[in-house]
Each structure stands twice: as C-alpha cells, then as structure tokens.
A and B are shown apart, each in its own frame.
Chain A
Amino acid sequence: MVAGLTVSERQLALLVLGLLASGGLAMAAAGRGDPLGAHGFIVLIISVALAFLVLSRYHDPEPSQERLSEYYDDPTRVGIVLAMIWAVIGMFFGVWVSALLAWPELTFVDQAWASFGRIRPVHTSGVIFGFGGNALIATSFHVLQRTTRARLPDQFSPWFVLIGYNLFCIVAASGYLMGVTQSKEYAEPEWYADFWLVIVWVVYFAIYIRTLMRRKEPHIYVANWYYMAFILVVAVLHIVNNLALPISAGSAKSYTIWPGVQDAMVQWWYGHNAVAFFLTAGFLGMMYYYLPKRAERPIFSYRLSIISFWGITFMYMWAGSHHLHYTALPQWVQTLGMTFSVMLLVPSWASAGNALATLNGAWHKVRDDATLRFMMVAAVFYGLSTFEGSFMAIRAVNSLSHYTDWTVAHVHAGALGWVAMITFGSFYALVPWMWKQERMYSPKLVEVHFWLALSGTIIYVFAMWNAGIIQGLMWRTYNDSGTLAYSFIESMVAMHPYYIARTVGGLFFLAGAVVGFYNIIMTIRMARRGAAAPDSASDVPAVAVQPGE
C-alpha cells in the first residue's frame, strides 16, 4: 500500500502520522488516570506503527506514470477486508449481548467491561460504523471512479479517510469497554473522537468533490447522489448532535450543550437520520450501482430514482420526532414527525420497487446466482422495513410498539435484511472484480452464506416481533379492578424463549458472515497465487489524470 504513494505523498503521510502521534502523546500526558490517557496511548501506538510501515517502504520505487490510466483501488480492497473483520467482531458481540438477555450470568468474569451496557454499544457501533461504514467507504471509492470514469484525485487522501475512520472506530469500541460514553444512541463516542471524525469526514467529502470535478461523464449517476447525501448529511448531523463541552482538556467526559427536551429532539433528529443517511442513503447508492451491474440490466426507471432520491433526502430530515411520541416534545412536532414518516413510504417503496422492477426479466439469474439473490432479498427487506417504520411511527401504533422488542425487530429487519444483505451481495460482485478473478473462491459458500443469512434474519425478526407485541400487550392489560394485570418482571419471564430464539438467529447470521469472510480471504489468496485473468487492464478510466493533480 505504501508502494502506491509518490515520494511527496509518503512525506505527507509521515507528517500526518507525526502530528497524530504527538496528538496521542498529548492525550496520554494530559489524561493520566483517565480513559483519555489510555486512548492517547492507543493513538500513539497506531500512528507510530503506521509510520514504521511507511518508513520501511520509503525508498521503494515510485509508482509509474501509467498508474494514472488506471483506477486506484487499493483502498477499496483494504476497506472490504476491514469491513468483514468488523462484521465478524460486531456480530459476535451482538450474539453475546443477546445471549446476556437470555442468560444474564454470561459475563463470564463478572467484570465491568463485559456488562450489558458496555458491550451493547460495541455491537451497535461495530456493525453500523465498523462494518457498514467501511463497506460504504470501500464501495463509494469504487462506484465514484467507475461512474465518473475518473481516477481518485490522489493516493494519500483515500488512505487518510479509511485509516482515520478505522482509528475512530477503534477508539469508540475500546472506549465503551472502559466505560466512556456520551449515552447518546449511535453517538456514544466522546468529544475527542467526534472531533477527529469531523476531520476525516471533511477529507472524505473533498475526495468526492475533487473526483466529480474531473469527471468524464456529463451526468452524475444517481448512486453518487446517494453517497454524497450520506457523507454531507452525516457530517451535519454528527457536528450538531455532538456539540459538547469537555469538563477539562484532560478528561474524556463532556456535557452536551443542548438542554432537556431540545437534547432529546436533537438526539433523535440525529438518530433517525443516522438510519436514513448512514444506513439507507449510502446503501441505496450501493444498490443503484451493483444491482444493475450484476443483473446486467439498466435500472428500471432512472426518473423514478431521481424523484425518490429527493423524496428520501427531504422527508427523512423531519421524521426523527416520531421517536418522542408521548413525551415533553410539543405535540405538533410529534405529529410532524409522524406525518413525514408516513409520507416517506412513497419514495422508499419507489426505490424498492425500482430495484425489483429492474430484476424483471432477470429472475432466472436471481434463481441461479446467490449474489444477485442477496440484492433481491435486500430490496424486499428494504420495502418491508420501510413499511413497518412508517406504520410504527403512527402515534397509536407507537403506543403499543415503543420501548418493546418490536423496535428491535424493526431495526434488525433493516440492518440484517437490508443493509447487510445489500453489502454482502455487493461484496460478492465486487471482490472478483477487485482481485481480477473470474468468480469467488467458492460459489457454493456464497450459497451457504445466503441461506444462513436469510434464515438467521427470519428467526431473529419473527422472535422479536412476537416478543415485542406480547410485551406491549402485557404492559397495557388491566384487570377488573383497574390495575395492571402483569408486573414488569412477568413480561420479562415471558420473553425468555424469544430471547433464546433471537440468539440462535443471530448465531446463524454470524456464521454466515464468517463463511463470507473465509470465502473472500480465499479469493484473495487465489489471486495472490497468480491466477489473474488476462486483460486486467480493461478496467481503466476514460482519460488519464495529469500528474500535477
């Protein structure tokens, strides 16, 4: 990876790593006796290790000018592997934390770090940011170059984004285990990690803009719009929700600047748009590129894709308040969120329908090709969970579903059925292209992964649907004397079989991800053994970049 950098980029890398190492050192010094200090050492060790890596290859020959007539895919390749590593870690923690609900003694060591409250965010951040984020970064670099027919603007900044982002993920996950958290859903990392992510994110957006400015296609393909909405809106959400004052420069602890119900509103404006722009817009970008590619059919209606893009980006912005039904939030704001959530069904189903209509005429491929089937199932689950989301946002439905496992079912129908399935489908399409192979190491294992993932999702979602509705009903059932018929603990006991079923479903899904990871690694090893197909230079941008850029 260092060999792909020019000498001036290697110097820039060393400079940035030097600054990062001094930042880590400063954190370690200022944060003695505080988790901030531990994070300082983590940052220091990682940046010094990377600097050694750059130095060890510093005198390697520079990449030739011919590189400019090819796409720059090294960051995509590394990003795919990182995404799969995070998938296995994040899903493992998911299975563990779900098992804790069924068997609370499973903290093994009875240590604080293994308690539910600490390992749950390792699961959520691991799968959303570790797996999902790396998958988005890796595929966005690939899609951006192919659809604009332009090479990434330089070799350094994609690495800065990918490695910097993973540093954020490591600091986040290790912080949770030490008890560092802002206690905000999907925004748990503390102020210094948030600050670092802003820097990474600005560079990410700049890569997009710089590449688009040199594009050789007149029109910006719709997938790029989705990726750009993902990058831009996540930046805005992240900054606004994480405005906080640390109690001192040497402490990990900070307090948000938002008071009371405003904090709740800002948090769920953030939280729901994290679902919308992190887990939906970016992955729709994936779908709009890899699904037509794999099916070898153009998207059913390009116009519909534009209308649904603007519908989704506009309407999601207002939907967050449906998380705060029956709270101190003004009634009209709750109603606004509910109304926009219901209207969101239109652009969401337009996207899902567009994907399925694209497959019309290619159903024989869906039957034979597990990769395409992953994408088809993803589109179905996308349609399903967006319908469910609109439905649950209705105030009366929400009074039954809120605070129950129905919400957990809904989230996982989206996360397992839509986000993970479209990612696996895209990866199975992308990996052979990236490593110049005709196919994956084992198409049979892709098939195995598909059925493990699908059955795991179905077991999980049905278990949680049942659990959630039973919970909701038990909590609102009154007896003849007008008091609650069930105590809270009775509803917990009733959940036990569903929690076991949920853990089994999650285990299936994790097993599928492990199989997928193995298959990808074996495909890479196949490529290393020199089984490259001929004519690997067919994959080139339309016009070479000028060296000065």
Chain B
Amino acid sequence: MGFDHDQLVAFAQKWGLLYFLALSAGVAIYALWPSNRKRFDRAKHSVLDKDDRPDGARHGKR
C-alpha cells in the first residue's frame, strides 16, 4: 500500500468535505428548482387522492 495513515487521513478529510458540500448543494438545487414544483405538488397531493376506505367515500378525489 502506497498510503500511510496521515496521507489517508488528509485525503479522507479533504475529499469528504468536498463530497459533503457538493451533495448538499445538489440536493438544495434539486429541491428548490422552480420547474420541479409541479411534480412535487402533484406528489404531495396524490397520496390523498385515492381514498382507501371501504365506504367508498373518496375524499379529495380530483
């Protein structure tokens, strides 16, 4: 193995931080991207769409 402990630690700490920052930025951009709003809105309402109850009362059915 060409790595000693200190090199491995330096590598892990530097790239681990960059990985963390890149992932955070990526998630924030994905979640806040304006054109994604429509699909998120649909997703959050669609679970309520279909009424599971056997009485057949379909609340919120669009």
Contacts and interface: CB of A to CB of B under 8 A. Distances in A.
A535 B55 CA distance: 6
A539 B52 contact: yes
Interface in A397-445: 432-433, 436-438
Contacts of A221: 43, 46-47
Nearest to A304: B31
Contact of B23 (A146, A314, A438, A536): A314
B48 A217 contact: no
Contact of B47 (A146, A314, A330, A533): A146
Nearest to A332: B9
A306 B48 CA distance: 18
A223 B48 CA distance: 13
Contact of B54 (A297, A314, A536): A536
Interface in A122-153: 146-147, 149
A310 B27 contact: yes
A217 B45 CA distance: 12
Contacts, number: 91
B15 interface: no
Interface in B21-43: 23-24, 27-28, 30-32, 39-43
A436 B46 contact: no
Interface residues of B, number: 30
Nearest to A535: B56
A426 B43 CA distance: 20
Contacts of A330: 9
Nearest to B42: A219
A293 B40 contact: no
A222 interface: yes
Given A221-B43, A302-B41, A314 B20 contact: yes
Interface string B47-60: 11011111110111
B31 A307 contact: yes
A217 B49 CA distance: 12
Contacts of A497: none
B27 to A, nearest CB: 4
Interface in A489-539: 532-536, 538-539
A298 interface: yes
B56 A219 contact: no
A298 B9 CA distance: 45
Contact of A306 (B31, B52, B55, B59): B31
Residue of B24, B30, B40, B47 contacting most chain A CB atoms (<10 Å): B47
Interface string A288-322: 01001100111100111011001100100000000
Contacts of B32: 303
B30 A538 contact: no
Nearest to B50: A146
Nearest to A223: B47
Given A217-B46, A219-B40, A289-B47, A310 B56 contact: no
A147 B43 CA distance: 9
B27 A292 contact: no
Contacts of A304: 31
A293 B48 contact: yes
B8 to A, nearest CB: 11
A218 to B, nearest CB: 7
B45 A298 contact: yes
Contacts of B46: 147, 217, 221
Contacts of B42: 218-219
B13 to A, nearest CB: 8
Contact of A535 (B9, B13, B24, B54): B54
Interface in A207-248: 217-219, 221-223
Contacts of B51: 538
B10 to A, nearest CB: 11
Given A307-B28, A307-B31, A314-B23, A437 B54 contact: yes
B14 interface: no
A539 B60 CA distance: 15
Given A217-B43, A311-B27, A535-B56, 5 more contacts: A293-B52, A298-B45, A298-B48, A314-B24, A534-B56
Interface of A: 146-147, 149, 217-219, 221-223, 289, 292-293, 296-299, 302-304, 306-307, 310-311, 314, 330, 332, 432-433, 436-438, 532-536, 538-539
- Which 6 A-B residue pairings sit nearest by Cβ, starting from the closest? A535-B56, A533-B54, A436-B54, A310-B27, A302-B44, A302-B40
Interface of B: 9, 13, 20, 23-24, 27-28, 30-32, 39-48, 50-56, 58-60
